[in-house]
């Protein structure tokens, strides 16, 4: 049986949400059916992980997140690579690789092109001209792919009704995750830990998150916060905590290769993102049975409901603070929420279902 040549295109060589979604696909594909390549920038932890999987990495440092003159160089590079390797399938992720990669691959003669949107690049926090520009780019790139995968239903419905992609091409495939072995959560009367895991950049709303944590800690001595991750806003967040004199109760352990041991220390998982696709961080927390408190935005609200946690509007800061303060006294409710989190993952967001859905597209 001849292997299919499969190319995935990313920008950043990190191990955050988008990269982990791609890795989950690659790790679970039959080795005897696919010859796999990945284009991304060089020099990050993703590269080592790809080597462990015996995936061929093609470095492309001209591929940037922001719009720049380098985009033309990246476009030509993708086109030439597609011509050289004659890929059967090209699968792009996120906005910049999705725009350049879909068009370049089609012009190079690739027969099957798939794009996964991990949340649209335009949102209400941007100037209108940027939103308009990105919408035009998405609509154009949509003409050059066979399937466009959305990680939540709300984005898919918006794209179809806005004529950014045809209904026939639009699919929803939820991100998936394995459920770890069950463990008995220990009751801690002396402290209550609210934790999170995210990249410290604007999308994740870290400054506002830290301000909420400070407000909560000033009112309830029992509550502590742990924030995993790194990013350009991390030092600014640490400065806020230092100024409040709360370094012993709001801590920043940094990026963790394996977050599960940390999540097992948490009593509640918090995510205050401004926009999302379908956050892997929440899925990880749900998989070990954590109750979730999250902003009521696309993606989050397809994972969290009154069954397994609490959703709040982005401007409901006072309501969020009061909710977090009340949690240590709601232990029985938290147990119910946590159990439901794990059941939801098992029934709706399993790794098996996720991989099977992508493989069915590859095999069409």
**How confident is the model over 340-355, as pLDDT tens digits?**
999 999 999 999 999 9
Q: Report whether pLDDT(183) > 80.
A: no
How many Cβ atoms are within 10 Å of 184's Cβ, its own excluded?
A: 5
Q: Report whether pLDDT(314) > 80.
A: yes
Q: How far apart are CA 151 and CA 135, in angstroms?
A: 18
Contact assessment for residue 342 and residue 286, using Cβ atoms and an 8 Å cutoff? yes
Confidence at residue 1, expressed as pLDDT on a 0 to 100 scale = 73
Confidence at residue 188, expressed as pLDDT on a 0 to 100 scale = 65
Q: Report whether pLDDT(233) > 70.
A: yes
Range with the poorest average pLDDT among 25-34, 121-130, 201-210, 257-266:
121-130
- pLDDT confidence of 126, banded at 50, 70, 90? confident
Rounded average pLDDT over 139-157: 98
Contact assessment for residue 207 and residue 274, using Cβ atoms and an 8 Å cutoff? no
Q: Which helix or strand (DSSP H or E) is residue 142 part of?
A: helix 128-142
How many Cβ atoms are within 10 Å of 259's Cβ, its own excluded?
A: 19
Q: Which of 202, 226, 201, 204 is nearest to 213 (CA)?
A: 226
Confidence at residue 285, expressed as pLDDT on a 0 to 100 scale = 98
Confidence at residue 185, expressed as pLDDT on a 0 to 100 scale = 63
What residue ranges define each of the domains in the chain, with the CATH number in brackets? 4-176+350-362 (3.40.50.2000), 192-348 (3.40.50.2000)
Distance from the Cα of residue 23 to its chain's centroid: 12
Contact assessment for residue 100 and residue 74, using Cβ atoms and an 8 Å cutoff? yes
Angle between helices 280-287 and 331-348 (to 10 degrees): 110
Distance from the Cα of residue 346 to its chain's centroid: 19
Beta bridge partners of 172: 150
Q: Report whether pLDDT(186) > 80.
A: no
Which residue did the predictor score with more confidence, 140 or 1?
A: 140
Confidence at residue 123, expressed as pLDDT on a 0 to 100 scale = 83
Handedness of CA 134, 136, 140, 146 (dihedral sign): positive
Q: Report whether pLDDT(184) > 80.
A: no
Q: Report whether pLDDT(33) > 80.
A: yes
Contact assessment for residue 4 and residue 89, using Cβ atoms and an 8 Å cutoff? yes
For 295-315, the DSSP string reads E-STTGGGT--TTTEEEE-TT
- pLDDT confidence of 125, banded at 50, 70, 90? confident
Confidence at residue 189, expressed as pLDDT on a 0 to 100 scale = 66
Q: How far apart are CA 64 and CA 227, in angstroms?
A: 27
Contact assessment for residue 125 and residue 275, using Cβ atoms and an 8 Å cutoff? yes
Q: Report whether pLDDT(240) > 90.
A: yes
């Amino acid at each position: 049986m001849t292997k299919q040549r499969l190319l995935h295109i990313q920008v950043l060589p990190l191990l955050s949400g988008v990269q982990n979604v791609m890795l989950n696909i690659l790790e679970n594909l039959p080795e005897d059916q696919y010859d796999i390549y990945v284009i991304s920038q060089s020099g990050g932890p993703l590269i080592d992980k790809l080597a462990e999987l015996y995936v061929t990495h093609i470095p492309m440092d001209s591929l940037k997140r922001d719009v720049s003159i380098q985009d033309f160089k990246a476009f030509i590079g993708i086109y030439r690579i597609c011509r050289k390797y004659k890929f059967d399938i090209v699968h792009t992720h996120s906005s910049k690789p999705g725009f350049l990669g879909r068009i370049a691959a089609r012009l190079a003669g690739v027969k099957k092109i798939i794009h996964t949107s991990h949340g649209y690049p335009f949102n209400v926090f941007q100037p209108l001209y940027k939103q308009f520009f990105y919408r035009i780019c998405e609509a154009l790139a949509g003409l050059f792919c066979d399937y466009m995968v959305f990680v939540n239903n709300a984005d898919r419905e918006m794209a179809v009704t806005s004529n950014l992609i045809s209904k026939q091409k639009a699919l929803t495939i939820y991100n998936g995750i394995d459920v770890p072995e069950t463990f008995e959560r220990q009751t801690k009367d002396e402290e209550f830990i609210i934790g999170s895991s995210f990249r410290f950049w604007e999308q994740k709303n870290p400054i506002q998150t830290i301000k909420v944590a400070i407000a909560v800690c000033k009112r309830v001595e029992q509550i502590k916060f742990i924030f995993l991750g790194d990013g350009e806003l991390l030092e600014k967040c640490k400065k806020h905590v230092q100024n409040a004199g709360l370094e012993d109760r709001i801590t920043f352990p940094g990026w963790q290769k394996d977050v599960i041991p940390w999540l097992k220390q948490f009593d509640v998982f918090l995510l205050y993102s401004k926009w999302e696709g379908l956050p892997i961080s929440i899925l990880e927390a749900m998989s070990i049975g954590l109750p979730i408190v999250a902003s009521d935005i696309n993606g989050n609200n397809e994972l969290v409901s009154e069954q397994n946690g609490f959703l709040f509007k982005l401007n409901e800061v006072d309501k969020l603070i009061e909710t977090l303060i009340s949690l240590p006294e709601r232990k029985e409710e938290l147990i119910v929420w946590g159990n439901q989190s794990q059941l939801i993952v098992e029934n709706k967001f399993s790794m098996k279902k996720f991989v099977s859905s992508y493989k069915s597209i590859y095999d069409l």
